[in-house]
A and B are shown apart, each in its own frame.
Chain A
Amino acid sequence: GENVEQHPSTLSVQEGDSAVIKCTYSDSASNYFPWYKQELGKRPQLIIDIRSNVGEKKDQRIAVTLNKTAKHFSLHITETQPEDSAVYFCAAIIKAAGNKLTFGGGTRVLVKP
């Protein structure tokens, strides 16, 4: 079926290091790829998104890259801080599934001080 795969499921980094999370998707027609951050017991919050007409987008310490040919996209967090610790979800609009927003399984990021 149509899905989004996310790796790794957990990621532990030292404060100040970079963190990279990768997602792959199955529908070549997908055109919208948001990333959400969810702290324990809180709502998912959009941190960055990218549309299929660009290959990279950056917002301060956060960047997302998209490779449409390979059908994968990645989140990059530089100079990580303890407050970056959370679960991060990638998602894609799966057109083949009726334009539903389909989420990856999540990556639990722990930034060690």
Chain B
Amino acid sequence: GAGVSQTPSNKVTEKGKYVELRCDPISGHTALYWYRQSLGQGPEFLIYFQGTGAADDSGLPNDRFFAVRPEGSVSTLKIQRTERGDSAVYLCASSSRGRGLTDTQYFGPGTRLTVL
């Protein structure tokens, strides 16, 4: 079946602008994660959804970052007043969360955000 998809693949914006990044998880996966990956580093956790609700948003760096998943499937990561330091690859992952299981996270191809 189809894997995790993300759009756009690349986004170039100017400092101070607003951007939205979209993630379409694997069909039926209830858990969705957003990560940020800077050059030469591993992915860093931002936020985790279980269904429609944000179960853990402790990784969001500040209140300029916000994410939603209104119908429990597609998620949008929103960044207000972008700064040059926000430039990174934003990765989305999904998993099928079973009770008591630690489930594999499948990653999307990422959105490369460049803030000029």
The stretch that binds B, out of A13-21, A39-47, A56-64, A71-79, is: A39-47
Q: Is A26 an interface residue (CB 8 A)?
A: no
A100–B56 contact, CB under 8 A?
Answer: yes
Residues of chain B in range 43-80 having any CB-CB distance to chain A below 8 Å = 43-45, 48, 56, 58-59
Q: How many interface residues does chain B have, given as a range? A: 20 to 34
A32–B102 contact, CB under 8 A?
Answer: yes
A98–B42 contact, CB under 8 A?
Answer: no
Given known A-B contacts A102-B45, A106-B41, A46 and B102 have beta carbons under 8 A apart = no
Distance between B36 CB and nearest chain A CB, rounded to angstroms: 11
CB < 8 Å: which of B43, B58, B104 contacts A46?
B104
Q: How many interface residues does chain A have, given as a range? A: 20 to 34
Q: Is B110 an interface residue (CB 8 A)?
A: yes
Which chain B residues border A36 with CB–CB below 8 Å? 107
Q: Is A112 an interface residue (CB 8 A)?
A: no
CB < 8 Å: which of B40, B48, B91 contacts A44?
B91
Residue of B nearest to A51 (CB): B102
Given known A-B contacts A51-B102, A98-B56, A104 and B108 have beta carbons under 8 A apart = no
Given known A-B contacts A43-B91, A93-B102, A98-B58, A103 and B107 have beta carbons under 8 A apart = no
Distance between A99 CB and nearest chain B CB, rounded to angstroms: 8
Given known A-B contacts A98-B56, A103-B42, A45 and B107 have beta carbons under 8 A apart = yes
B42–A43 contact, CB under 8 A?
Answer: no
Q: How far is the CA of A36 from the CA of B4 in the complex (A)?
A: 16
B102–A105 contact, CB under 8 A?
Answer: no
A43–B109 contact, CB under 8 A?
Answer: yes
Residue of A nearest to B102 (CB): A32
A to B CB contacts below 8 Å, 12 in the list:
A32-B102, A42-B109, A44-B43, A44-B107, A46-B106, A51-B102, A98-B56, A98-B58, A101-B33, A105-B41, A106-B40, A106-B42
